[in-house]
Amino acid sequence: MNRSATPRFPAFLHGGDYNPEQWLKYPEILEKDVELMREAKVNCVSLGIFSWAFLEPEEGVYDFAWMDRVIERLWSAGIHVDLATPSGARPAWLAEKYPEVLRVDDRFHRQHFGGRHNHCPSSPVYQEKVRAIDTALARRYAHHPAVILWHISNEFSGDCRCPLCQDRFRAWLQDRYGSLEALNDHWWTGFWSMRYTSWSQVEPPSHRGQNANPAIWVDWRRFSTWQCRSFIEMEKAALHAVNPDIPVTANLMHRFWDYDYFELAKPLDVVSWDSYPAWGMGDDLREASEHAMTHDLMRSLKDRPFLLMESTPSQVNWHDVNKLKKPGMHLLSSMLALGQGSQSVMYFQWRKGRGGAEMFHGAVVGHDGTADTRTFRQVRQVGDALERLAPLYGAEKAPARVCILYDWNNLWALDYAQMGRRGDMRYTETVNEHYRALWKLGVNMDFRDCESFADDGRYQLVIAPMLFMTRAGIEEKLRAFVARGGTLLMTAPAGTIGEDGLAHLGQTPHGLTDVLGIRALELDALTDTQENRLIWADGPHRLLRLCELIQAEGAQVLGTYGEDFYAGSPCLTRHDFGKGQAYYLAAQTEEAFLTALYRRLVESLAIPRALPGELPDGVAAQERGGAVFLQNYAPQARQAAVPGAWQDLLTGDVWQDRVELEPLGIRVLVRK
Amino acid sequence: MNRSATPRFPAFLHGGDYNPEQWLKYPEILEKDVELMREAKVNCVSLGIFSWAFLEPEEGVYDFAWMDRVIERLWSAGIHVDLATPSGARPAWLAEKYPEVLRVDDRFHRQHFGGRHNHCPSSPVYQEKVRAIDTALARRYAHHPAVILWHISNEFSGDCRCPLCQDRFRAWLQDRYGSLEALNDHWWTGFWSMRYTSWSQVEPPSHRGQNANPAIWVDWRRFSTWQCRSFIEMEKAALHAVNPDIPVTANLMHRFWDYDYFELAKPLDVVSWDSYPAWGMGDDLREASEHAMTHDLMRSLKDRPFLLMESTPSQVNWHDVNKLKKPGMHLLSSMLALGQGSQSVMYFQWRKGRGGAEMFHGAVVGHDGTADTRTFRQVRQVGDALERLAPLYGAEKAPARVCILYDWNNLWALDYAQMGRRGDMRYTETVNEHYRALWKLGVNMDFRDCESFADDGRYQLVIAPMLFMTRAGIEEKLRAFVARGGTLLMTAPAGTIGEDGLAHLGQTPHGLTDVLGIRALELDALTDTQENRLIWADGPHRLLRLCELIQAEGAQVLGTYGEDFYAGSPCLTRHDFGKGQAYYLAAQTEEAFLTALYRRLVESLAIPRALPGELPDGVAAQERGGAVFLQNYAPQARQAAVPGAWQDLLTGDVWQDRVELEPLGIRVLVRK
Amino acid sequence: MNRSATPRFPAFLHGGDYNPEQWLKYPEILEKDVELMREAKVNCVSLGIFSWAFLEPEEGVYDFAWMDRVIERLWSAGIHVDLATPSGARPAWLAEKYPEVLRVDDRFHRQHFGGRHNHCPSSPVYQEKVRAIDTALARRYAHHPAVILWHISNEFSGDCRCPLCQDRFRAWLQDRYGSLEALNDHWWTGFWSMRYTSWSQVEPPSHRGQNANPAIWVDWRRFSTWQCRSFIEMEKAALHAVNPDIPVTANLMHRFWDYDYFELAKPLDVVSWDSYPAWGMGDDLREASEHAMTHDLMRSLKDRPFLLMESTPSQVNWHDVNKLKKPGMHLLSSMLALGQGSQSVMYFQWRKGRGGAEMFHGAVVGHDGTADTRTFRQVRQVGDALERLAPLYGAEKAPARVCILYDWNNLWALDYAQMGRRGDMRYTETVNEHYRALWKLGVNMDFRDCESFADDGRYQLVIAPMLFMTRAGIEEKLRAFVARGGTLLMTAPAGTIGEDGLAHLGQTPHGLTDVLGIRALELDALTDTQENRLIWADGPHRLLRLCELIQAEGAQVLGTYGEDFYAGSPCLTRHDFGKGQAYYLAAQTEEAFLTALYRRLVESLAIPRALPGELPDGVAAQERGGAVFLQNYAPQARQAAVPGAWQDLLTGDVWQDRVELEPLGIRVLVRK
């Protein structure tokens, strides 16, 4: 087991965001907090995320006394601290004195003070103020034994179009493209007479000017990623200048679109993220699969266990319809995270505030202030479970033999693409459909993007859904993978544009037509009420949304279209290339098809699974550190076949050949 | 009968908005107007609402000559005048010379000239100009015998975020909270590092800055109410400085959200409002109940008869689908108002203009200019009816034994709350569901807010739907009411936050758990396609939208949940407290349940009803001044049981034990 | 045949937008283009539409060398040039140096550089720069033998509210109304106290100020039309100063709302337009009828054959769901245009660019760069067809005996009207319903607006759907038409307002009550789920959306309402007036009624049809130059009765008495 990733963590972390600055006038509550934390088996809290106004009540005047007391009190109870830098929300005095720290929106209007996560990342003043307080925090606490982690800022998001950011964008472009001539070529400014003749003419894309060129938008997202990464690096440098031994993280978010997380993860020592499934909306297994996928994605960013930094102990308050977690779901969803590689179960938030936007967001402790609540009892149950699972602490998931390509650049390219089902290409949803089919089979998967993917012999199967934009030599890497004996599955549309957003000339999927043995001809789009059919060995399946017309050029046709003028033409193909084989799926399909397809592939490739047999409906299994996390998302009890003798680490129960699962039940099984 | 409320009114007012300034170049039409008014039995018109540009065509230069002629001509025909101050729409020259009178919107953009009801209420120049023209109008007309009422401005609405209003907001906050420290505490600015260190940092909430703190938004609504009330007081003072004997009103609107009407009503001598039901959309009884409720609410503001200031004689023009009133509906909806306590039936508008936004809004006289129209005949029919009902003039409704709490502060608090069904809490709709169940039974109800409610022995039953915010000592007042022997019914969520928006700490419903014998645990929200069931004596009923989990602590459980993990837990409870009893309904229900519940309560408490028996579907009855207004909103004829002998004041017909109602029929019955 | 309309055109034009400026660094592609054009039977391309940045790379420095080469190369291959002025999109240097050329939007915010078709039309600098480059282009190319047409700018649209445009608006109003007094009277500024006392107070209507007066909005549209027309005239003058022999066009768009095309067409020598049907969405016949109508409208603007300037050879990229054209549809929709009077089939675009917003818009040549595509083959098929149909070049459609009034002023008036189904009056849709009923019968129709309509003896039947605004003496012209023996059909609402937007006083339809023998009483609106029924000789039909109550005053009642309180009252009437007759239809109807009504009228008036018999479902026929274009929009094969012997010009096949049509089949038949 590799525990090096989280050197100073003592055990699975259990705790959450703690905001004592809201309660400084309620000393009895601060005192009660520690007592309740111990009762809830909390061993770590995230502190200081929104404390700037209290740490630096006026410019340059710091007040650490209250935080000193809080940390001492926590540490005296054995509770560790994940200490935050406060850059996620600036004090009012800072916005008032230096309006440049406020963002300019995508219609070029400067925002007023309010909200959070909305500073200008370019502002020298803001950077200076952040560095100063980070340095002061580090000097005071970076050697405190309670402090085991830095929590940089909070849920980074968004962008700014102020003059400072515009200048930085131009500088970034100069750096990227070298010359205005090259910029014009890559942005294809011959279209609509958009040729720039001076750098000063270049502006960020916006809804009030340059708004229609996809390449400019994608570059803006890359620039915004770079802005955010630079900001993290700036904060990390300030912290590590004082003590480089405390690892840093930044809490990322589920399916967050603004930045490329493969980039953001680079300066982080540990990846952490905030997971808020919407349970109870009708298909909990599907919801679980989406968060399971993000868990695996976060794990894959650094190929190591990660932290679940936020989750709700009961319900959220920002959905349109805020449902309660049913009994069992809190343990189940916490174990979902653990089974996927989390080193923690952390919450937003420890205690509900009396006011503010999130005063009704779920918390371990509610406004009643007691431990006598269903939520509190469920949190303590998770605390117990984490103790019982201590042997798994730091364990890796079972090695993945399957890799899915998920690429933020491609995500943006598809979302900005003017074609197909415009603005509704559903890249992430499609990736999740492929993921879900395999996850239900108990298969473990890694995620890579075009850059991080390497043909290092780990993988038997690589899946590249909708790889519309190819970059970082991915064509060559996939070619080599197949040639060596790997199995590749790609889906339409694939290999259409390059990294700069320019369409590939010649046949597509670019650079892979010989590997796949097909070429793409035309792309048809279907309305929500239209569908086609796939005719293949396994019987017909519904085809939805996008149907690409392809021509087999060497590939074996496994399935054909059943409707429309392209009925009979190929839809699913397989091609032997080198020692491997390459599948191409030309249309989007219903879930049942992917389930059937991957069942065949997993069997024929002998890809390892958490459990060998068929799992009942609603049940999923994942393996970590030799333990099988068997999860039941169905509202009914289920029984699963588990050949041999097993022990449930949570209860100590022993099961032989089969195991019972109550509704929303969880078993963590090891072979006896 | 208490006629003191409207001292100088001679009879039920019949008339409407009259805009001769649009027709000054059409003298034949002005002459024809008076002739047609007499034919339509009009006895009062609202004059001058949008006349400013004609009364003061250039700054400081007044022209009253045309208005002199109009008033003389009207008075010579015995028609009274409800004279308006023109502050609802400024002249173009005023906006051009003093741009400060134009509002700044919620994104901090100054509006251009146009529209109406959109002045900056803080502008000293605007106030000065309004005072000047109000004074001039009063000096000229306040002693004219035709003038019986002042109509201050028009349909006040909205708010302004200009620098002047921002300053006033800060001053208002200083006044309210005393210190910045207190402001920070009440607004819970410890959340998201929002602590203010200088008053200059405080800004109105907006969609471009401070946007997420519910307490700030609620205070902004209170401030806007205060701004509007101050403006009314300023205008009233100018008018009454000349002649304090003419009462003032301001025409309020149906379900208007911007201001607290309990506050706005304080400076008004008479409450009036504008009622525009959308008949013919599928459920006219429901539509009637919503306007009946607003009639009762307006009556309750000052606990006196009120005025229906605007209604349409035919159709409106600003709905998406503008339907005609079917034959009978005009009389029926006019009598609805009268039965609920109106002293008038007034219209917008007397005559359709040839241009402008409302040129196609229904009017007594259309573009054809004749009396030979269905609309005109229906208006005259109402004029006849008002004459026949003269004995009821000034009469009070039958004393209400039921009081419903409806509180604007609570409305705002629920609408801004981030929880439950966020942004879709439907407080007013829920109040109307309770109102409708009792209104269909012929029960008379008063409305109070937390402040105006007093346990003065009037009420047997107090209903407090969704009293999420408690304020003005309402907990103590309700406790005393029940202790004394009253019956209280509360629904979830209740007693959650205080007046400042801070969550109550400890058990909830705050201050009432012992009265109700329950405490609230958790709040579940249901999507539009989800439902639960209430199991109680009367059989199962559907539960919708919100289900609160509660724990009975002394209360008798009358009904339980039928579904989900909280099946079997209490949903409806009753608790004896002192000499009274307190009901708690933890979920939102279908209408049939409320109908059944209130039928039982009315019976057991022997609450008086307009008619004793069961009314057929679509029929409602209300009593005023001893007369029963029996209304049929069904598209079919109906028969109602009315024990004894009755005479219809409208037709003189006598009915024994039963009465026939044609579709959309109305009878005003007195015991013979 | 009248070929004078397009004097220098050699034949049906076949080609499209050609953008070599995007490919200047790809000389092999430019060379390949000409080769492929010849293969595709292209004989004309539109050049230079977005070339400004390449023709004038810096201010005052022109570079024509690349265009010289392109034109020479094209001409050497016999390909003609439709040469564009580049005013549709300015270079970045121009926007940077002269920000006044950028538009100010309807919230008074200046746009930034980006997009296209968004210059300020008032800017003297912009006009000067456009004149200069137009003059330079004309001097260089206006005498080149390849150049046969000027393509002024591109798809004009939108408006600007900058200070310059505001001044021009005021000047235009002064010119139109003469005095501020008259402006006030016509805009009915007595409403809402809006009287202007200085021209400086007058602003364009906007969503940030003057927003509710329909008359101001309609005048703003007229002004915007005048702005656009003036801009075209300015460009035309610059071009014709060099060589007046090259005709000018400007490519208009389908159902474009911003400008009155009857006005825009005046300075054009040839009308052209861009047609993008959304095939494959469920009802292709309906979609065809909408584009057939626009073809006829464009033809009617100058009463001459027109040009189809843009269409897609495959699919578009800017729909939400971008569907492929099914096999056959490209030829069919091209022939639709030809049958309706087009002199061309032109495409956007010749070749897909590698980047930019339209990189995936359908093109003759795709990113693969080959002729080996379905699209390319279909384009060549159209090229072949155009050659075979050469005898029809320049031919007029069969003379229309039916005229439909379609009036942009009326369109705006209805869309801005606050009444009925507000914002959803569906004028154009209603006109299309009437058009479609006749088009399916093979009847040829002209379009006129109130101004261009003349009772010159051409027409037997005039249809005026929803002529809400009457202007240009249309009442008198229609009266004379009927008196002379014509048949008029009008539908509700009719004759309600005059040209200035003021409601007509007195009975309506204004000026036509005696002709129609009815008068209008009230207008009822129906929701989407409500309907009424028409009872008439042909059986009941559904009535939808709008039902006007009318009174017959001399007219014969042909049909009555079947439902609601106005059941039994007239809905369809006929009145003999002079030698003619006038029908009035008071409600909106389902399609089947109009089909039945027009079948009767066509029969009784003996209006000529392309083919005598009943056409099967999905099939339409139109006659041009003696040839019948028989079109099958059904997804099934169809058989049509064609008495006599016919030859298909496309295939040479001979048919006797009946003709077979494959799905999406087309026959161009001449009598043998």
Cβ–Cβ < 8 Å for C13, C345: yes
Is beta strand B487-491 parallel, antiparallel or unpaired with respect to B461-464? parallel
In sequence order, which residues have a C-beta less than 8 Å from that of residue A307 and are 6 or more positions away?
Answer: A6, A13, A249, A270, A271, A272, A273, A342, A343, A344, A346
In sequence order, which residues have a C-beta less than 8 Å from that of residue A446 and are 6 or more positions away?
Answer: A296, A299, A300, A303, A400, A402, A403, A404, A458, A459
Which residue bears the tokens 């050029």? A553
What's the token pair of residue C244?
């007046």
Residue of B203, B215, B564 with shortest CB distance to A355: B215
Cα B70 from Cα B54, distance rounded (Å): 13
Share of chain C above pLDDT 90, in %: 97
Cβ–Cβ < 8 Å for B532, B504: no
| Chain A nearest C-alpha distance from C4 (Å) | 34
Q: Among C310, C433, C475, C623, which one carries the catalytic annotation?
A: C310
Q: Among A21, A155, A433, A548, which one carries the catalytic annotation?
A: A155
| C565 close contact with B: CB closer than 8 A | yes
Across-strand partners of B403? B446, B462
Shortest CA distance from B97: residue in chain C: C201
Cα B411 from Cα B468, distance rounded (Å): 9
Cα C199 from Cα A513, distance rounded (Å): 69
Cβ–Cβ < 8 Å for B133, B49: no
Peptide bond into B635 cis (omega under 30): no
Q: Among A290, A310, A433, A531, which one carries the catalytic annotation?
A: A310
Which residue bears the tokens 């900001």? A231
What's the token pair of residue C440?
């399916």
3-state secondary structure of B233: helix
| Chain A nearest C-alpha distance from C374 (Å) | 9
DSSP state of B396: P
| Helices C163-177, C214-240: crossing angle, 10 deg rounding | 100
Q: Where does the pLDDT of residue C9 fall: very low under 50, low under 70, confident under 90, or very high at 90 and above?
A: confident
Cα A298 from Cα A308, distance rounded (Å): 10
CB contact under 8 A, B114 and C188: no
| Chain A nearest C-alpha distance from B591 (Å) | 22
What is the predicted pLDDT for the residue at C86?
98
Claim: this prediction has a pTM higher than 0.80: yes
DSSP C528-580: TT--EEEEETT--EEEEEEEEEEEESS-EEEEEE-SSTTTTSEEEEEEEETTE
CB contact under 8 A, C193 and B326: no
In sequence order, which residues have a C-beta less than 8 Å from that of residue A72 and are 6 or more positions away?
Answer: none
Residue of A111, A281, A352 with shortest CB distance to B527: A281
pLDDT tens for residues B6-36? 446 779 999 999 999 999 999 999 999 999 9
DSSP A433-465: HHHHHHHTTT--EEEE-TTT----S--SEEEET
Helices (H) and strands (E) in chain B, counts: 17, 25
What is the predicted pLDDT for the residue at A254?
84
| Strand blocks (E) in A526-579 | 532-536, 541-552, 556-561, 570-577
CB contact under 8 A, B369 and C505: yes
On chain B, the residues whose CB falls within 8 A of the CB of A57 are 195, 197
Residues of B labelled catalytic: 155, 310
Cβ–Cβ < 8 Å for C107, C160: no
| B526 close contact with A: CB closer than 8 A | yes
In sequence order, which residues have a C-beta less than 8 Å from that of residue A569 and are 6 or more positions away?
Answer: A549, A550, A551, A560, A561
Q: Which of residues 99-158 of C touch A (CB under 8 A)?
A: 109, 111-116
CB contact under 8 A, B209 and A54: no
What average pLDDT score do residues C296-319 get? 96
Residue of B52, B93, B321 with shortest CB distance to C527: B321
On chain C, the residues whose CB falls within 8 A of the CB of B321 are 421-422, 525-527
pLDDT tens for residues B99-150? 999 999 999 999 999 999 999 999 999 999 999 999 999 999 999 999 999 9
Helices (H) and strands (E) in chain C, counts: 17, 25
Cα A296 from Cα B7, distance rounded (Å): 78
Torsion of Cα atoms, C446 then C447 then C448 then C453, to 10°: 20
**In this complex, how many residue pairs, one in chain A and one in chain C, have their CB atoms less than 8 Å apart?**
171
Is beta strand C541-552 parallel, antiparallel or unpaired with respect to C587-589? antiparallel
CB contact under 8 A, C96 and A201: yes
Cβ–Cβ < 8 Å for B306, B342: yes
Which residue bears the tokens 């008196």? C483
Cβ–Cβ < 8 Å for B29, B18: no
Cβ–Cβ < 8 Å for B134, B83: no
Buried b (16+ CB within 10 A) or exposed e, B119-154: bbbbbeebbebbbebbbbbbebbbebebbbbbbbbb
- Regions of chain A with pLDDT less than 70: 1-8
CB contact under 8 A, C502 and B354: yes
The length of chain C in residues reads: 672
Cβ–Cβ < 8 Å for C517, C479: no
CB contact under 8 A, B193 and A318: no
Backbone dihedral region of C532: left (phi > 0), alpha (psi from -120 to 50 degrees) or beta?
Answer: beta
* The residue type at B348: F
Shortest CA distance from C198: residue in chain B: B93
What is the predicted pLDDT for the residue at A421?
97
Buried b (16+ CB within 10 A) or exposed e, A318-344: ebebbbbbbbbbbbbbbbbbbbbbbbb
DSSP state of B417: -
Task: Give the mutation candidate from B32, B47, B325, B367 for the C interface (greatest C CB count, under 10 A).
Answer: B367
| C511 close contact with B: CB closer than 8 A | no
CB contact under 8 A, C195 and B54: yes
3-state secondary structure of C660: strand
Across-strand partners of A17? A46
| A537 close contact with B: CB closer than 8 A | no
3-state secondary structure of A476: helix
| A413 close contact with C: CB closer than 8 A | no
On chain A, the residues whose CB falls within 8 A of the CB of B198 are 92-93, 96
Q: For residue B409, which of B259, B267, B588, B216 has the smallest C-alpha distance?
A: B259
Cα A521 from Cα A547, distance rounded (Å): 11
CA Rg, chain C, in Å? 26
Buried b (16+ CB within 10 A) or exposed e, A34-73: bebbeebbbbbbbbbbbbbbbbbeeeeeeebeebeebbee
- Regions of chain B with pLDDT less than 70: 1-8
Cβ–Cβ < 8 Å for C57, A195: yes
CB contact under 8 A, B203 and A23: no
On chain B, the residues whose CB falls within 8 A of the CB of C189 are 53
On chain B, the residues whose CB falls within 8 A of the CB of A359 are 188, 191, 214, 418, 503
What is the predicted pLDDT for the residue at C8?
62
| B21 close contact with C: CB closer than 8 A | yes
| A255 close contact with C: CB closer than 8 A | no
CB contact under 8 A, A360 and B189: no
What is the predicted pLDDT for the residue at B8?
62
Backbone dihedral region of A626: left (phi > 0), alpha (psi from -120 to 50 degrees) or beta?
Answer: left
Cα B671 from Cα B654, distance rounded (Å): 10
DSSP state of C668: E
On chain A, the residues whose CB falls within 8 A of the CB of C20 are none
What is the predicted pLDDT for the residue at C5?
44
Task: Give the mutation candidate from C194, C211, C569 for the B interface (greatest B CB count, under 10 A).
Answer: C194
What's the token pair of residue B417?
């709350």
Cα B661 from Cα B653, distance rounded (Å): 12
Torsion of Cα atoms, B323 then B329 then B330 then B331, to 10°: 180
| Chain A nearest C-alpha distance from B453 (Å) | 27
Interior CA angle at C315 toward C310 and C316, to 5°? 65
Q: Where are the alpha helices (DSSP H) in C40-142?
A: 52-55, 65-76, 92-97, 124-141
| Chain A nearest C-alpha distance from C109 (Å) | 9
What is the predicted pLDDT for the residue at A614?
85
Residue of C115, C314, C354 with shortest CB distance to A188: C354
Cα A283 from Cα A287, distance rounded (Å): 6
The length of chain B in residues reads: 672
3-state secondary structure of C183: helix
On chain B, the residues whose CB falls within 8 A of the CB of A329 are none
Cα A265 from Cα A299, distance rounded (Å): 11
Q: Which domains does chain B show, CATH number per domain? A: 402-605 (3.40.50.880), 619-671 (2.60.40.1180)
Q: In what helix (H) or strand (E) does residue A427 lie, and over which residues does it extend?
A: helix A427-439
